[in-house]
Chain A
Amino acid sequence: MDKVWPREYPEKKESKMKKKPKAPLPDTRLGKEFVYMVLMPIALQASAQSHRNRYRENFSAIYERLRDLKNSLDKLIIGRVNKNTGVYRIRLYYKILAEKLILNIVSGNRSEIKSNIEQIMRSEGINFIERAPSPISTEEKFIIKADFNGLPHFPKAQDLSPFYQEVSKQEKTSSSQFSPDDYNINDIPSWKALKQFPSFRKTEYKIRAALAEKNISPDQINRLNAFDTIHLLRSYYNEKELYAPESSKSRFIKFFIKHHEKDFRNYLKNNKPIIIEALKNRNIMINEHSHKDEYQLFVDNCIKLMKEKGTVPPLFNIHHKIPVKDTDRLDLVNSPQNLCLILEVPYHTMLHLFDSNNNGSTIFDRRLKRVELPQDIIFFGGFDGASCIYHNYAQDKTKNISPILKTKQGRD
């Protein structure tokens, strides 16, 4: 009846008085992926030499955030895992790496930050391989870009050959001396490179028609360079008010969403805190408590545009697994097998930490290293296997050849 039960321990009361309770970071159950989403953008930028001194209040806000993150690492990365298991040891290692990175950001150790990022990437199974730059010509590079982006612009006048510039100045006559059939497209030196891209291969007749309309003599087309040919084609599309060939970028996005819509929707659903964090990082706020489900609207809108226009969704980008400057196969450089949809920050930026730049003097020799992604990966949303989507390209090949085989077998 008269049970005495101490209501409060004096020590506890004292400690409560001293420390203001802090709201811990919410456990999104996304483990280290969520930690990376908060930590990596700060780490990537903190690795740069900065003399910034004006945003003191923002610095303190960032440090506060890093402190919260550091205090929540146990909960976010390790979670409730038995200490005697292998999983615990692996997660503990991830936690230690994240902790080291936070400490180096706070103390401003630039070179250490970069080496921590490399350690994290290696611990996640990212391979670094020696780069093998391939001497790619300016014309070839222009063709690759034009194929990837779909002829959005005319080539620069100074890149056009004097011959083509002269031809362009001539007034257009109503009747041409030549017909499209008079041309052997293989006489255009750059056609060898252009025909390796499906979008340009389909334009063969249009190029011949454009040549005839410009009244260019068939024995002169060997004087045209790649810029001339693309200019010719772009002008033809403009004059005829035709849609330009679909870009490889857009084709890839449509290909991806056609085959993996369900997986991508699942990713966006399961990684909602990561996407909201990334949007918040761009000052774009999603009201999760509004009557309309704003996040769902955002997802639906992204997928609609991906399907209809092949638009890369916001926050994402397309990564070339074998970089354009390392490619020795023009026919593969913009093919779906070489492309991968990726979250721009932090992952795409991390992968490109190894690119060469003007000075190339980083702790890694950016000229020599690049990261290697699995050949069948089509979507990279995090280091966690569940955040990636893979595509079975071998099955596609079988599908493509099966009708041919069937016809052959039928004939036999």
Chain B
Amino acid sequence: MQALLSKIKNLPFGSAGTAASSLHIISMQQDLKFNNLPTMPNEFVELLHHVNTINYDGAFIFGINPNSYFLDILSENLRLELSDSENLLILGHDDFEYLAYNQKDNCYQIIDKDDMKVLETYSRLPEALIYMLKIENE
């Protein structure tokens, strides 16, 4: 996670939002549960304590944004209305793919936006985020 955070820190200004508060994180977890959505995995919660929302080179990672709804994880998941998403929490997207957390299998998946086919599976969040943000060499 540290390696990922230092990569994110090196991204240009405006790419990463400031850390979310503990109160907001707890409220969001309760909200997700209340809306029958999977709760955020621990690694993602850890990330939120450092950066809340990432937007780099056309890729968007959600966070907690109750004031404006922009890139808000709950609002985005509700708006996407994915019928097969009982076990999926969408954490971000780019032009072609979603980054999702699969609660049932406790893993991170890269899913095609059109046909919802799983393209990649990762057991750890940093690898999945690096894939999504395409920052291997940053």
Question: Is the pair A41, B69 in contact by a Cβ cutoff of 8 Å?
Answer: yes
Partner of A44, one of B79, B113, B114: B79
**A55–B82 Cα gap in the complex (Å)?**
23
Contact A359:B52 (CB < 8 A) given known A51-B34, A152-B136, A283-B18: no
Contact A47:B131 (CB < 8 A) given known A54-B31, A298-B14, A312-B57: no
B87 CB within 8 Å of chain A:
no
Question: Is the pair A55, B79 in contact by a Cβ cutoff of 8 Å?
Answer: no
- Residues in A whose Cβ lies below 8 Å from that of B136: 152
Number of interface residues of B (CB under 8 A): 47
* Interface membership of chain A positions 45-59, coded 1 if the CB is closer than 8 angstroms to chain B and 0 otherwise: 111111111110010
A302 CB within 8 Å of chain B:
yes
Contact A324:B58 (CB < 8 A) given known A42-B68, A50-B35, A50-B78: no
**A172–B18 Cα gap in the complex (Å)?**
49
Question: Is the pair A156, B83 in contact by a Cβ cutoff of 8 Å?
Answer: no
**A252–B69 Cα gap in the complex (Å)?**
30
Closest 10 CB pairs of A and B: A45-B69, A48-B78, A314-B14, A281-B68, A48-B79, A45-B75, A281-B70, A58-B66, A312-B58, A152-B134
* Interface membership of chain A positions 144-157, coded 1 if the CB is closer than 8 angstroms to chain B and 0 otherwise: 01001100110010
6 A-B pairs besides A152-B136, A359-B83 with CB distance below 8 A are A148-B95, A283-B17, A283-B53, A301-B12, A302-B14, A344-B55
A258 CB within 8 Å of chain B:
no
- Residues in A whose Cβ lies below 8 Å from that of B65: 281-283
Question: Is the pair A42, B71 in contact by a Cβ cutoff of 8 Å?
Answer: no
Q: Enumerate A328-377 residues with CB–CB distance to B below 8 Å.
A: 344-345, 355-359, 362
**A286–B55 Cα gap in the complex (Å)?**
16
**A119–B119 Cα gap in the complex (Å)?**
37
The minimal Cβ–Cβ distance linking A248 to chain B, given in whole angstroms, is 11
Partner of A45, one of B31, B79, B95, B112: B79
List B residues at the A interface (Cβ < 8 Å).
12-15, 17-18, 27, 30-31, 34-35, 52-53, 55-58, 60, 65-72, 74-76, 78-84, 95-96, 112-114, 116, 119-120, 131, 134, 136
Q: Enumerate A295-344 residues with CB–CB distance to B below 8 Å.
A: 297-298, 301-302, 305, 311-318, 320, 324-325, 344
Closest A residue to B112 by beta carbon equals A141
Contact A315:B114 (CB < 8 A) given known A45-B69, A50-B35, A54-B30: no
- Residues in B whose Cβ lies below 8 Å from that of A48: 75, 78-79, 81
**A50–B112 Cα gap in the complex (Å)?**
25
The minimal Cβ–Cβ distance linking A241 to chain B, given in whole angstroms, is 12
Question: Is the pair B75, A282 in contact by a Cβ cutoff of 8 Å?
Answer: no
**A298–B12 Cα gap in the complex (Å)?**
9
A284 CB within 8 Å of chain B:
yes
Closest B residue to A42 by beta carbon equals B69
- Residues in B whose Cβ lies below 8 Å from that of A298: 13-14
Question: Is the pair A45, B72 in contact by a Cβ cutoff of 8 Å?
Answer: yes
- Residues in A whose Cβ lies below 8 Å from that of B15: 314
**A313–B58 Cα gap in the complex (Å)?**
8
**A84–B68 Cα gap in the complex (Å)?**
37
Partner of A47, one of B13, B55, B79: B79
Closest B residue to A280 by beta carbon equals B68
- Residues in B whose Cβ lies below 8 Å from that of A301: 12-14
The minimal Cβ–Cβ distance linking A136 to chain B, given in whole angstroms, is 9
Question: Is the pair A317, B58 in contact by a Cβ cutoff of 8 Å?
Answer: yes
Question: Is the pair B12, A314 in contact by a Cβ cutoff of 8 Å?
Answer: yes
**A402–B115 Cα gap in the complex (Å)?**
44
Question: Is the pair B12, A317 in contact by a Cβ cutoff of 8 Å?
Answer: no
A279 CB within 8 Å of chain B:
yes
**A141–B116 Cα gap in the complex (Å)?**
14
A62 CB within 8 Å of chain B:
yes
Question: Is the pair A282, B55 in contact by a Cβ cutoff of 8 Å?
Answer: yes
Contact A61:B14 (CB < 8 A) given known A52-B31, A312-B58: no
* Interface membership of chain A positions 271-282, coded 1 if the CB is closer than 8 angstroms to chain B and 0 otherwise: 000000011111
- Residues in B whose Cβ lies below 8 Å from that of A305: 12
The minimal Cβ–Cβ distance linking A300 to chain B, given in whole angstroms, is 10
Partner of A314, one of B31, B55, B76, B116: B55
The minimal Cβ–Cβ distance linking B52 to chain A, given in whole angstroms, is 6
A249 CB within 8 Å of chain B:
yes
Residue with the greatest number of chain A CB neighbours at <10 A, chosen from B18, B55, B56, B69: B69
Question: Is the pair B119, A282 in contact by a Cβ cutoff of 8 Å?
Answer: no
- Residues in B whose Cβ lies below 8 Å from that of A62: 67
The minimal Cβ–Cβ distance linking B75 to chain A, given in whole angstroms, is 4
Contact A318:B95 (CB < 8 A) given known A54-B31, A283-B53, A357-B82: yes
Question: Is the pair A51, B57 in contact by a Cβ cutoff of 8 Å?
Answer: no
- Residues in B whose Cβ lies below 8 Å from that of A282: 17, 53, 55, 65, 68, 70-71
The minimal Cβ–Cβ distance linking A43 to chain B, given in whole angstroms, is 9
**A356–B112 Cα gap in the complex (Å)?**
13
A-B contact pairs, 28 of them (CB 8 A): A41-B70, A47-B79, A48-B75, A48-B79, A50-B78, A52-B34, A55-B27, A55-B31, A58-B66, A152-B131, A153-B120, A153-B131, A156-B119, A279-B14, A282-B53, A282-B65, A283-B65, A301-B14, A302-B12, A311-B56, A311-B57, A312-B57, A314-B56, A315-B55, A317-B95, A345-B71, A356-B114, A359-B81
